[in-house]
Amino acid sequence: MKKSEARKIFTEKRKTATEQQRNKWDDLILIRFQTLPIPDLNVLFTYAAMETEVNTDAIVDYLHFRNPALQVAYPVCDFDTYTMQAIASTIDTPFIKNRYGTPEPRMDNAEVMPSQSIDVVIIPLLCFDKDGYRVGYGKGFYDKFLADTREDVIKIGLSYYEPIDKIEDRSEFDVPLNYCVTPERTYEF
């Protein structure tokens, strides 16, 4: 399947899930996430979920419990260059929606986490395939960001839906996932 077709299908599919269903899937994904063989980590780059995305709050709480010194960063986007920065955030950091509806940490006194310091990236996606390739919103935010991260960074996708067989129009920039967790299964690539 081509990325553009997958984007359309999964954008529509996402809208059909009820809040109750999503909450249940978030719980199942958390339970699976807790069994991933990820080593101790110091810096996490995650995302603040929009309504139809897998919520990462409980996963962040769990990782924080594992390492109280964990630093957690969230994306702040530049829509002129389609790049993003990892902004360190705490429980007290206010989040505001940008003009495209994505919650972002407020930038006052913001600490930018160097891409090279990040140990694990939790990535939102519209759909993924059986080889770990993903389809996002098509602006290349994540592909560009991941290009600057360490070779050994662990990339974990979260998805309510199972993978498609193959994204046909992969590009040279596409960075595959190491893991993808769904309510039904954990995929390792």
Ligand X SMILES: Nc1ncnc2c1ncn2[C@@H]1O[C@H](COP(=O)(O)OP(=O)(O)OP(=O)(O)O)[C@@H](O)[C@H]1O
Ligand Y SMILES: Nc1nc2c(c(=O)[nH]1)N(C=O)[C@@H](CNc1ccc(C(=O)N[C@@H](CCC(=O)O)C(=O)O)cc1)CN2
Question: Binding residues for ligand X, per CB under 6 A?
Answer: 3, 135-144, 147, 171, 173-174
Picked from ligand X, ligand Y, none, the partner binding residue 175 (CB below 5 to 8 A depending on kind) is: none
Among 131, 139, 143, 144, binds ligand Y (CB under 6 A): 139
Interface with ligand Y: number of residues (CB under 6 A) = 17
- In sign, the C-alpha dihedral spanning 76, 44, 146, 164 is negative
Residue type, 60: V
141 binds ligand Y, rule: CB under 6 A: yes
154-158 and 120-123 strand pairing: parallel
Nearer to ligand Y, 75 or 163 (CB): 75
Least Å distance, CB 130 to ligand Y, is 21
Binding residues among 33-92 for ligand Y as defined by CB under 6 A: 47-50, 53, 75, 77, 79, 84
Q: Please name the residues in contact with 147: beta carbons below 8 A apart, sequence gap of 6 or more.
A: 173, 175
Torsion angles phi and psi, residue 148, rounded to 5: -100, 0
Nearer to ligand X, 45 or 141 (CB): 141
Q: Please name the residues in contact with 65: beta carbons below 8 A apart, sequence gap of 6 or more.
A: none
Picked from ligand X, ligand Y, none, the partner binding residue 119 (CB below 5 to 8 A depending on kind) is: none
128 binds ligand Y, rule: CB under 6 A: no
Distance of CA 54 to the CA centre of its chain: 9
Torsion angles phi and psi, residue 14, rounded to 5: -55, -35
Which residue, chain included where needed, has tokens 């989040």? 95
Least Å distance, CB 138 to ligand X, is 4
Least Å distance, CB 111 to ligand X, is 23
Beta bridge partner(s), residue 77: 84
Picked from ligand Y, ligand X, none, the partner binding residue 13 (CB below 5 to 8 A depending on kind) is: none
Q: Is the distance from CB of 47 to CB of 75 less than 8 angstroms?
A: yes
Interface residue list for ligand Y (CB under 6 A) = 47-50, 53, 75, 77, 79, 84, 100, 102, 124, 136-137, 139, 141-142
